[in-house]
Amino acid sequence: GAVVSQHPSRVICKSGTSVKIECRSLDFQATTMFWYRQFPKQSLMLMATSNEGSKATYEQGVEKDKFLINHASLTLSTLTVTSAHPEDSSFYICSAAVGGSSTDTQYFGPGTRLTVL
């Protein structure tokens, strides 16, 4: 089946530094990739939607200058948390869809646990 990987699986950084998280579709080409954030005991909240070669579409309330998303190829999307602060600590999850239809199954990565000290 379709596999999505994320790297790193967990990262600890100091406040003020930037962290890059990679999301890769290993055995398929993803037209669309999504980035979600999950707080403890809560649901996944969509942060942004990215299509290869175009700018990401951010959800209301998500700072695009803080959460930089690059979707350089059909198999790789990156999320960079710039000038991270403790409140950015969370579980970040990406997903990838093969096609552009909303009925297409989204395949989820295992997530990245970010802790900002």
- The binding site for another protein (CB under 8 A) comprises 4, 6, 31-32, 34, 36, 41-46, 49, 51, 93, 95, 100-103, 105-111
Shortest distance (Å) from residue 54 CB to another protein = 11
- Nearer to another protein by Cβ, of 23 and 116: the residue is 23
Residue 103: what residue type?
T
Phi-psi region of 27 (alpha: psi -120 to 50; beta: other; left: phi over 0): alpha
Please, what is the end-to-end C-alpha distance for the chain in angstroms?
A: 37
Shorter beta-carbon distance to another protein: residue 13 or 104:
104
Q: Could you tell me the smallest distance in angstroms from the CB atom of residue 14 to another protein?
A: 25
| Least distance between another protein and beta carbon 102 (Å) | 4
CA atoms within 13 A on the CB side of 53: 3
**Among residues 59 and 63, whose Cβ is nearest to another protein?**
59
Percent helix, strand, coil in the chain (nearest 5)?
5, 50, 45
In the structure, how many helices (H) and strands (E) does the chain have? 0, 11
Which one, 59 or 83, has the nearer CB to another protein? 59
